[in-house]
Structure 1
Amino acid sequence: MAFRWRDNSIKILALFMALLLWVYVTNEQNPLMSRNYHIPLAVQGKPEGYVISGLPEKVHIRVQGPRTIGSALGAGDFTAQVNLMGVAEGEWELPVQVTTPPGVELLQVTPRTVKVLTDRITQKNVPVTLNFKGRVAQGLQRGDPVLEPPVVTLHGPSKLLAEINRVGVTVDVSGAEDTLVRDVALQTGVKGVTVSPGRVSVTVPVTALPARELPVRINLTGAPGEGYEVGEILVQPALVWVTGPRQVIENLAEVQSLKVDISGATEDVAREVVLVLPDGATSVKPDRVHITLPIVPQETEPPQPPEEEENTEDAGE
């Protein structure tokens, strides 16, 4: 049957106009609208025994849909995820997959891909090192500390553990007068790395320094007046106690005083003199002595009688 254009042209035109009218009314009554959302980024297929870094917490999306649908949507109606299935140690660039409700078109995802760094979680044994703050009380010495345990185990990404060779702790010994026992928390200072055990016991012996009794030597400078000299010096006390590390005081033979100037003296000198603390020693007691310096006239030798000449002639007869 032949198509009758003349008879059906009006019908076709009417249908076309109706379609245009429907599109117009639909867009006017329920137009398309775009919206922006920040949605959480989920991880799928995370491999066991690995730590993942580089993933943002949220991604930004821009979507478009009819107003009647878009006005009822929230961020919870969308999902964004990264699939880590099959990844191994290293750096990966993976796409962000976004799911939208029916009737909503995804226009933009930021970021569209993410760079992910995966590192194997491992462990490593390292020693504990001790740092001291302050000094023990005067006259005492700090002995070798004892750590329990001396070695701890670190847990974390292998690349981070490779940069850690020890775990340090600090103990304050300021003014300590007896042996110290402290329970100290351990921290690596590196995010993502833990230490086991988390605390260490520190014992720091505090004992008396060795002491030694040594003679005092008065350090004189200058010379007495003409015709005078220094007699036997009297020092009270003649011996003093020097305290310090054993290797220091064992090498000392005496304790010197500050300089005593006797230039031009013609009479006895009596005064209190401060003692010099030997290098490396911690104390000298007492730290000063009283001295008496006799200034006496110099002794002169009596003239010798002339020698008698022998009478050689008489001796010959």
Structure 2
Amino acid sequence: MTFKWRDNSVRILALFIAVILWVYVTNEQNPVTDISYNITLEANQPEGYIIKGLPRTVNVRFKGVRSVTGTLQRMDFSARVDLSGISEVGEQQFPVQITSPPGVEVLQVTPQTVRLQVDRIVTKSVPVVVSLKGNVADGQQAGEPVLKPPVVSIRGPSQVLDEINQLGVTVNVNGAKDTLERVASVETGAEGVSVTPDRVAVTIPVIHVPSKTIPVRIRLTGEPAPGYTVSEVTSNPLSVQVTANDGILNSMTAVSTMAVDITGVASDVEKEAVLLLPDGVKQLNPESVHIIVKISPVEDEQQPPPENETPPESDTQPETQGRSQAGR
């Protein structure tokens, strides 16, 4: 059969024009458009691991004809990171997987990959230590705290738990006269770390300790300037309250200050001096005293009496409690 070009040329031309018109109308009435959405990024949580650094969203840019894209919404797309194959800890990179509806082409995903911090969830036992706030009543002493339980279990990221070797609780003992029993909350202060149990019972013995008023001994070192001498040494107060057991109190005669240097001085010295805490003493009240060291010019030596004259007897002043030139 011979194809008759002359007879079919009109038909071919008409078909060609129809195709062109269809393409034209389609592009004009239903053009291809580009659209982008911020899509929520999801990830499966692998058991025994904790993941940080996952972005909340990724940006997806896609294209399609208007008749299709005009009906789409964010919820028609999904973005996901597959973490099921995790076996190591540290920083790792994962691709973002996009699921899109039919009729559209995904052009770009930002970001295409995400860097995540992966860490194992572990459990660790740590001791609990007690810090005391305030001071017990005068004449009383706080003993060693007793905790129940003394050790708790913490659970969280291994890298965080490596930095936790103990946990602390604080108990206020201010003014306490008898043994205290308290329940204290145990907290880590670290995100993602839990404590079991999160409360411990704390017992703090408070016992009576004897006290006694004992005079102050002022320690001086050095010598005043030439032509001057120490004429008087005094402290305010003259004595302090010492808390210790009976054996130590009975053996104490004075409480010394730290050494006060008067080398080369030619005028009175007035200052605060810290008291030295003797071995076995629990408390000094106060812990320092105000001292005054009076410096006077040396008086001229008296002329010796005539040979036939008996010199007058000299009077010796008794040592005043709280005054001393010890250490000179």
Instruction: Verify same fold: TM over 0.5.
Output: yes
Distance 1:102-1:256 versus aligned 2 partners, 3 A rule? closer
Q: In the alignment, which residue of structure 1 is the partner of 2:155?
A: 155
TM-score norm. by structure 2 comes to 0.66
Paired residue for 1:14?
14
Distance 1:216-1:60 versus aligned 2 partners, 3 A rule:
closer
Aligned counterparts of 1:245 and 1:164: Cα–Cα separation in 2: 37
Q: Flag as ranges the 4+ runs of structure 1 deviating above 6 A.
A: 215-219
**Partner Cα separation in structure 1 for residue 248 and residue 69 of structure 2:** 86
- Does 1:56 pair with 2:55? yes
Aligned to 1:230: none
Q: 1:277 to 1:60 in 2, by over 3 A?
A: closer
SS of corresponding position for 2:101: coil
* Shift in Å, 1:88: 0.6
Task: Work out whether 1:70 is the aligned partner of 2:72.
Answer: no
**CA offset at residue 96 of structure 1?**
0.9
Paired with 2:218 and 2:14, the residues of 1 have a C-alpha distance of: 131
The equivalent of 1:222 in structure 2 is 231
For 1:77, give the aligned amino acid.
D
Which aligned pairs between 1:207-246 and structure 2 lie closer than 5 A? 207-212=207-212, 222=231, 242-246=241-245
CA contact (8 A) 1:210 1:244 kept: yes
Other structure's SS at 2:160 match: helix
Q: Is this contact kept in 2: 1:183–1:202, CA < 8 A?
A: yes
| Aligned 8 A contact 2:255 2:276 in 1 | no
Gaps of 5+ in 1: 224-239, 258-275, 288-297, 301-317
Count of residues in Structure 1 that have an aligned counterpart in Structure 2: 254
For the pair 1:170 / 2:170, whether they are aligned, the reply is yes
Deviation at 1:195, TM superposition (A): 1.2
Q: What is the deviation of 1:84?
A: 1.8
Cα displacement (A) at 1:176: 2.8
**Root-mean-square deviation (CA), in Å?**
3.3
How far 1:251 moved relative to its partner? 5.8
In structure 2, what is the Cα distance between the partners aligned to 1:140 and 1:23? 99
Aligned match of 1:47? 46
Where 1:243 maps in the other structure, the secondary structure is strand
Q: What displacement does 1:299 show?
A: 3.6
**Which position in structure 1 is the counterpart of 2:23?**
23
The 3 A distance-change label for structure 1 pair 50 and 209 is same
- Matched-pair contact (CA < 8 Å) for 1:96–1:114: yes
Counterpart CA distance in 2 for 1:56 and 1:153 is 32
Which letter maps to 2:231? G
Higher gyration radius (CA): 1
> How far apart are residue 142 of structure 1 and its match?
1.8
Tell me, yes or no, if the aligned pair for 1:126 and 1:154 is still in contact at 8 Å.
yes
Alignment counterpart, residue 284 of structure 2, candidates 279, 282, 285: 282
Quick check: 1:52–1:118 contact (8 Å CA) kept in 2? yes
Return the alpha-carbon distance in structure 1 between the equivalents of residues 145 and 20 of structure 2: 92
Q: Is the 8 A contact 1:32 1:67 kept in 2?
A: yes
Deviations along 1:20-68, one digit per CA (max 9) or x if unpaired, are 2112212222222222222222224x43222222222222212222223
Q: Secondary structure at the match of 1:282?
A: strand
Q: Displacement of 1:128 after TM fit?
A: 1.0
Shift of 1:92: 2.8
Matching residue of 1:85: 84
Seen in structure 2, the aligned counterparts of structure 1 residues 250 and 148 have a Cα distance that, compared at 3 Å, is farther
Q: TM-score, normalised by structure 1?
A: 0.68
The separation in 1 between residues aligned to 2:84 and 2:144, in whole angstroms, is 53
Match of 1:268 in 2: none
Distance 1:218 1:112, change over 3 A: closer
User: 2:218, 2:127 → 1: CA distance?
Assistant: 51
> Per-residue deviation at 1:97?
0.9
SS in 1 for 2:60: strand
Deviation at 1:5, TM superposition (A): 3.8
> 1:34 touches 1:64 (CA, 8 Å); kept in 2?
yes
Structure 2 counterpart of 1:262: none
Is the 8 Å Cα contact of residues 138 and 282 (structure 1) preserved in structure 2? no
Distance 1:116 1:215 in 2: 69
**How many Å separate the matches in 2 of 1:192 and 1:244?**
46
Deviates more, 1:153-162 or 1:4-13: 4-13
Deviation at 1:200, TM superposition (A): 1.4
TM alignment of 1:88-103, pairs within 5 A = 88-90=87-89, 91-103=91-103
Give identity over the alignment, percent: 48
